[in-house]
A and B are shown apart, each in its own frame.
Chain A
Amino acid sequence: MNNKKEWSKKLLYVVLITYAVITLVPFVWALSSSFKTFAEISSGVMSFIPNEFTFENYRQIFIEEELFFRWLLNSVVIAGGGTALNLIFNSMAGYALARISFPGKKVWFMLILAVIMIPVQVTMIPNYLILKELGWLNSYQGMIVPAMINATFIFMMRQFFINFPKELEEAASLDGLGRFGMFIRVVLPLAKPALAAQAIFVFMGFWNDFMRPLIIMTDADMYTLTVGLNSFKGQYVTYWNYIMAASMVFTLPVLVIYMFFNKFFMKGMSFTADK
C-alpha cells in the first residue's frame, strides 16, 4: 500500500516536472535572449547561455528611451485604475444577476453573454468614433471607461454569488444593513479569492493590451509600455534583443502581482454549487 503510494507520488512528480520544463523552455530562452547581443541572436546558433553577456538591451530600454518612466506610469494608472473599477463593477453586476430578482434580469444576462461573442475587430472603428466624440482620445479615461466592466468576469462572479450562503445575508439585514452596505461589508470580503483571481486576469488584460492604446493614444507622452516598447520591429529588420528585453520588463510586474495574489485565491476560493 505504502509502496504503491510512493510510486504514484514519484510518477506525479515526473509529470509535473516534465510539464514545468516544457513551460520553462520558451520562457528561459526569451530571458537569455534578452541578455544576448543582436549579432548573437541573428547568428542562428542556439544556446541558452549568452555567449557575450550584455545589459545593453536593458540599457536601451531604460535609459535611451527617455519616456520609459512616463510609459510605466501610464501603464500603471490605466491597469491599476481599470482593475479597481472592474473589481467593484463586475462584482456588483454579478451579484445583482445572481441574488436580486428584478424584471429584465434574464435579458441583461443574455445580453452580457452575447457581447462576449462578438469579435472586437468589428467594433473597433465605431468605438474609436465614440471616443472621439467624447473627446477621450489620448486620455486615461478613453482607455479605462470603455473597459471598466468585463462581461467574462461578470459571468464568473455571477457563478460565484449564486451559491453564496443565504443565511449570511439574512443575518446582515437583521443588523440593519442596507443592500449596498451589506454587499460591501459582508459579501465582498467573503468573495476575496474570486476577487483575487479576477484582479490578476483583469490587470493582465489591461497590461498586455496592445491594439487599443495603439489606436487611442497618438501622443508619445500617453503611450503605454506595450506600445512604447514595441517600436523595435522595423520595416525589414526585427530587433529581437530589444523585444525580448522589453517582454521581460512587461512580464515582471504581472508576475509579482500574481505571486502576491496567489495566496489569496488558494484559500478556499470556490464558485462550486454544493459545498
Chain B
Amino acid sequence: MKRKAWVFWSALMFLLFVAAGCSGNDGTTSGDGGGESEDGTTELTLAGWASSPEEESLLNTQLEEFEEENPDITVKHEAIADQYMDVIKTRLVGGEGPDVFYLDAVEAPAIIETGVLEPLNSYVDDEFDTGDFEDTLIEAFQDEEGETYGFPKGYSTLGLFYNKEMLDEAGVDVPTNWEELEEAAIELTTEDTVGLGVAPQMARLQFIGESAGGDMVEDNQAAFGSEEVVQGLQPLVDLRTEEGAAAAPSELGSESTGEMLGQGRAAMVMEGNWNVPYFEETFPELEYGVAEIPEINGTQGTMAFTVSYVMNQASEKKEAAWKLISYLTGKEGMKTWTETGIELPARQSVAEELGFEDDELRGPLVSGAEYATTWSDGPNLPTIYNNFDNEFLSAFLGEKSLEDALDTGEEVANDEIGD
C-alpha cells in the first residue's frame, strides 16, 4: 500500500520534471534574445496570419531567397492561427512581440499612435526607392509628419466579377455605370440567382457610401449618418429591398460574395483578386470576367486593401529586421510574392514588369489602384466599421430604414469613441 502512494508521487514529480525539461529548450524568444547567437547568425521572428497553402509556400520561397542572400540571418516564421490582432497586441504588451510582422492598413493608424512601431524613414536608402510604391497604399502607414512605419507587401482592389454565361444568356452588356448595373442586376435576377451579390460591410462599401459627396469618417468620428452617405448607399439597399435583385451571402447560404458567384447564386459581385486562384481551384468550370466597378455619378471608385510589413520598436535586431523588410517589400522580393497574382504588386515597377495591366482578369483590378479608397481611416475605424456593419445589415435586409439604421449606428459609435 505504501509503495503505491510513493509510485504515484514520483510519477507526478517525473511528469512535472519532464514538462519543465521539454520546454527548457526554448529559453530565448524574440524579444529577450540579445542580438546574435553564438555562431554569428541572427534569428528574426516574422509573424503573420495563416493563409492559403499557396501563400504559405510563396512566403517560404521568399524567405529561402532572403536567407541565401543573407547567410548570417535566419528567419523564424510564426503563423498566428486566429484573432491575429488580439494575439499580436497581447504579445506587444508583454514585450514579446515578433521582430517583423504583418499589419493591415485598417489597424495601422491606431497602432502607429501607440508608438510600438519603429519609424522606418531613417533606414530607407535610394536603392529601396520609396517613390515606386503607390501613394494611396503607403499613406495608410504614415503619420502626420510623414514618417513611414510600414511598407506594403502587396494590395488587392475590388472589381466587378461577372458570370459570362449568365450575361450572354440574358443579353446584357457588362455595366459601366451604376444605372446600367441596376438594370443588369434586375434583368439577371431569376428564381435561383440574384443579379448582384453584396457584402454588407463598410470595408466593401465605403467608396459607395462616399460617392454622393459624404464622408463616412470625419475627424476620427463616425459620420456615416449624414444625408450624403444615406444618399450614396440608398440605391444599393433599394436594389435589395425594392427590386429583390441583390442579396447578402448569408441570405443564400454562401460564405462570401465570391462563393455566391461560383455557386451560380449571383450573376455579378464586387470582389477582390484573391478570387482568381480561388475560382481556379474550386470552380474550374466557372466562366467569369472581371471589369472595373461601374462609375457612380460619373466617378470611378473601388476599395483597396493592403497589408504592410512593420518592425517592432522593441526589437533588438533592427538592422537585420530592416534587411528583411526591405527584401520582402523590395523589387525582387515583391516580384516573387506577386508573380502568381495572389496579391497585386504595390510597386509600379513590379506591376509593369509582371504586365498585370494587360491581363484580362487582373487588368481592371490594377487600374483600380489609382482611384481606390484605401481601407484605412484613422485610429477609430475599427469601432466605426463595427457599428456600421452591425446596423447596415438591418437596413439592407429591410428591417429598418437606412436612415434610422445609420443614424443609430453613428450615434453609438461616437458614444463609444468619446472625445
A touches B in complex, CB < 8 A:
yes
A124 adjacent to chain B (CB < 8 Å): yes
Contact with B along A180-224 (1 / 0, CB 8 A): 010011000000000000000000000000110011001111100
* Given A132-B94, A214-B83; A237-B263 close (CB under 8 Å): no
A228 — which chain B residues lie within 8 A by C-beta? 81
Q: Would you call A142 and B51 a contact (CB within 8 A)?
A: no
A232 adjacent to chain B (CB < 8 Å): yes
B272 adjacent to chain A (CB < 8 Å): yes
Stretch of A24-32, A36-44, A254-262 on the interface side:
A36-44
Stretch of B15-23, B130-138, B382-390, B406-414 on the interface side:
B15-23
Q: Would you call A231 and B87 a contact (CB within 8 A)?
A: no
B27 — which chain A residues lie within 8 A by C-beta? 135
Which of A60, A81, A222, A231 is B79 in contact with, Cβ under 8 Å? A231
Which of A140, A181, A220, A237 is B278 in contact with, Cβ under 8 Å? A237
Cα separation A84 to B22 with both chains bound (whole Å) = 18
How far, in Å, is B119 (CB) from chain A's closest CB? 25
B235 — which chain A residues lie within 8 A by C-beta? none
B288 adjacent to chain A (CB < 8 Å): no
Cα separation A234 to B52 with both chains bound (whole Å) = 6
B26 adjacent to chain A (CB < 8 Å): yes
Which of B15, B19, B96, B282 is A137 in contact with, Cβ under 8 Å? B96
Q: Would you call B26 and A221 a contact (CB within 8 A)?
A: yes
Closest to B78 in A: A218
Cα separation A44 to B253 with both chains bound (whole Å) = 8
B82 adjacent to chain A (CB < 8 Å): yes
Cα separation A88 to B98 with both chains bound (whole Å) = 38
Q: Would you call A38 and B82 a contact (CB within 8 A)?
A: no
Closest to B81 in A: A230
Q: Would you call B82 and A239 a contact (CB within 8 A)?
A: no
Cα separation A228 to B78 with both chains bound (whole Å) = 11
B400 adjacent to chain A (CB < 8 Å): no
Stretch of B221-229, B238-246, B254-262, B372-380 on the interface side:
B254-262
SS class of chain B's interface: helix, strand, loop or mixed?
mixed
Closest to A46 in B: B253
B417 adjacent to chain A (CB < 8 Å): no
A237 — which chain B residues lie within 8 A by C-beta? 52, 256, 258, 274, 278
Cα separation A211 to B87 with both chains bound (whole Å) = 9
How far, in Å, is A77 (CB) from chain B's closest CB? 7
A111 adjacent to chain B (CB < 8 Å): no
Give the number of residues in B that approach A within 8 Å (Cβ atoms): 56
Q: Would you call A138 and B29 a contact (CB within 8 A)?
A: yes
A184 — which chain B residues lie within 8 A by C-beta? 5, 8
Q: Would you call A38 and B50 a contact (CB within 8 A)?
A: no
* Given A218-B78, A234-B50; A139-B283 close (CB under 8 Å): no
How far, in Å, is B290 (CB) from chain A's closest CB? 16
How far, in Å, is B114 (CB) from chain A's closest CB? 14
A144 adjacent to chain B (CB < 8 Å): yes
Q: Would you call B78 and A235 a contact (CB within 8 A)?
A: no
A105 adjacent to chain B (CB < 8 Å): no
How far, in Å, is B113 (CB) from chain A's closest CB? 19
How far, in Å, is B103 (CB) from chain A's closest CB? 13
A141 — which chain B residues lie within 8 A by C-beta? 16, 19-20, 23
B96 — which chain A residues lie within 8 A by C-beta? 132, 137, 218
Closest to B285 in A: A39
Q: Would you call A220 and B78 a contact (CB within 8 A)?
A: yes
A129 adjacent to chain B (CB < 8 Å): yes
Q: Would you call A138 and B83 a contact (CB within 8 A)?
A: no
Cα separation A138 to B98 with both chains bound (whole Å) = 14
A109 adjacent to chain B (CB < 8 Å): no
Cα separation A117 to B31 with both chains bound (whole Å) = 34
Q: Which of B23-53 contact A (CB under 8 A)?
A: 23-24, 26-27, 29-30, 45, 49-53
B259 — which chain A residues lie within 8 A by C-beta? 42, 44
Which of B1, B22, B78, B281 is A77 in contact with, Cβ under 8 Å? B22
Q: Would you call B95 and A132 a contact (CB within 8 A)?
A: yes
| 18 more CB-based (< 8 A) A-B contacts, given A144-B19, A218-B29 | A39-B283, A42-B263, A43-B283, A81-B15, A128-B93, A137-B94, A138-B23, A138-B26, A139-B26, A140-B19, A141-B19, A185-B1, A215-B90, A218-B96, A234-B50, A234-B51, A236-B256, A237-B278
Which A-B residue pairs are the 3 nearest by beta carbons? A139-B23, A231-B50, A140-B19
Interface, chain A (partner B; CB < 8 A): 38-39, 42-44, 60, 64, 77, 81, 84-85, 88, 124-125, 128-129, 132, 135-142, 144, 181, 184-185, 210-211, 214-215, 218-222, 227-228, 230-239
Interface, chain B (partner A; CB < 8 A): 1, 5, 8, 12, 15-16, 18-20, 22-24, 26-27, 29-30, 45, 49-53, 55, 76, 78-83, 86-87, 90-91, 93-96, 98, 253-256, 258-259, 262-263, 265, 272, 274-275, 278, 281-284
